Amino acid sequence: MSDATEYAISVSDVKIRYRVFKKISLLKTLLAPHKYKKTELFEAVKGVTFNVPKGQILGIVGKNGSGKSTLLKAIAGIFSPDEGTIDLHGHSVSLLSIGVGFQNKLSGRENIYLSGMLLGFNKEQIDEKLEEIIEFSELGDFIDRPVKTYSSGMYSKLAFSITAILETEIMLIDEVLSVGDAKFKKKSYEKMRSLITNTDRTVVIVSHSSETLQKLCDTILWLHEGEVKMQGTCEEVLPLYEEFMS
């Protein structure tokens, strides 16, 4: 069997850089704005390499600022790496992340269609799943109100429902399972478990919850300051990560 059929995700020596403004005092900025307005290059991901076999669930851990969400957005195609390659081997991909993908002025219903089309589904396919998405989201009449009126919990419910019902071959999940009320959290967790049992679906989960990762994941990738510190089974990586964080 060739690599192209074995792996759903191949990340090779990926580097991602941001241009950030240097911290300069307000007085200096006011006195000479052109002289002191300088930027510096920050490397958020520093040559990361890993493969995810088709059907595997990979958890990514690391302290805040370690490059986890940046890497996930690059895999989702939201932006391109500055160096290296990301190959999804022709698989469809969706990113479940708070604050990504919704147009705030549009209603929840309109955002379902927009998100679905961005994921590669046509109107007829979305029509078939529309009522199931709305029912799962528990938003009721709010589905026809602008998303900008939603609480963070409502936002996460809609985001999760779209990604869970409009199933793609690769699912990328960024901390969403930890948001929302207890009842919905339990329902979304059970839905995620049912999706994950599909051996054709590949999942990458970024989370600070070792308990969630222990229950759901096959392997763990530990990122530290933009680099791979360790990769292995939950039993190998999570105890060392927890000890490091404590």
The residue whose two tokens read 């046509």 is 122
- Band (pLDDT 50/70/90 cuts) for residue 1 is very low
Domain borders along the chain are: 3-245
d(CA 139, CA 150): 10
pLDDT in the model for residue 102: 87
Q: How many residues comprise the chain? A: 246
The first and second tokens of residue 112, run together, are 């379902």
- Bridging pattern class, strands 7-21 and 83-87: antiparallel
Architecture of domain 3-245: 3-Layer(aba) Sandwich (3.40)
The residue whose two tokens read 């060739």 is 2
pTM: 0.81
CA angle 50, 55, 56 (to 5 degrees): 45
CA angle 141, 145, 150 (to 5 degrees): 95
The first and second tokens of residue 137, run together, are 């989201």
Note the pLDDT tens digit of each residue in 169-219. Answer: 999 988 766 556 788 888 887 887 888 777 889 999 998 889 889 988 999
